[in-house]
Amino acid sequence: MKKANKIYGVSLGPGDPELITVKGLKILQESDVVFYPGSHFQDGRKESYVRPMLDHYQLDAGKLQGFFLRMGLDRSAAEETYDQTASLLVDSWKQGKKISIVCEGDLSFYASFSYLLQRLQEQNIPVELVPGINSFSLGAAKHQVPLCLQNEKLGFLPLESSIENIEQRFKDFDTLVLMKIRMGWTELFPHLLTKNWRYYYCERLGAADEYITADIKELQNRVIPYFSLLIIKK
């Protein structure tokens, strides 16, 4: 066993495969095994948002290994998947292989990688993290709007459904980024229409079916996907 080898966490960026860092791509190309996340739906389907990005890099398909998380609020199934995946990671590491784990966006921001990192740290496995571009950074770039200037404050709200909570947060922040907006969207959307705020909506950033709009009314009948966010400026 090679005591000095590490397990690498590699950020892929929000969807455009060309937004990976040079360092991240080099590590993937040199890795013996690349673990990537995906979703396991109730109807049995398994899909991965990041797999097309890995295919774009023309990596050997034989070294790609997916781990698929069941979608839903019950975390027990996900925890089991993390335990099983961490065990596979450690086994491969003990064999002296160069191991990488990838995730979309940045691996320190609402990332499944963090749950694997915790398990690896508990076993004192050496890990190196390669940061990446966040979805909200790409969203701001697509809309060509600054997230914040000078002494302005930027805040983040996940799974938000309360307009009162957003109003309260705007007492402390100039710009808010709503993440994981799908779950509370039906309740929240009508209230957003009544506000004189500036909105910058983004979904599937960097992917072929990317969609953005600064007109909140265009979202009236739109089905909001999982990979979506809303930047709001007061």
pLDDT tens per residue, the chain (234 residues)?
444 589 999 999 999 999 999 999 999 999 999 999 998 887 878 889 999 999 999 999 999 999 998 866 677 888 999 999 999 999 999 999 999 999 999 999 999 899 999 999 999 999 999 999 999 999 999 999 999 999 999 999 999 999 999 999 999 999 999 999 998 999 999 999 999 999 999 999 998 899 999 999 999 999 999 899 999 999
For residue 2, the model assigns a pLDDT of: 45
Report how far residue 158's alpha carbon sits from residue 8's, in angstroms, rounded to the nearest whole number.
27
Q: What is the pTM of this model?
A: 0.90
Residue 85 has what pLDDT?
96
Tokens of 72: 């839903």
| Integer CA distances (angstroms), 129 to 10, 115, 156, 163, in order | 6, 14, 23, 36
d(CA 118, CA 113): 9
Give the DSSP H/E element, type plus range, for residue 127.
strand 127-130
Residues 6+ apart with CB under 8 A from 94: 1
228-233/198-203 β-pairing: antiparallel
d(CA 205, CA 133): 11
Confidence (pLDDT) at 136? 97
CA distance 130 to 189: 36
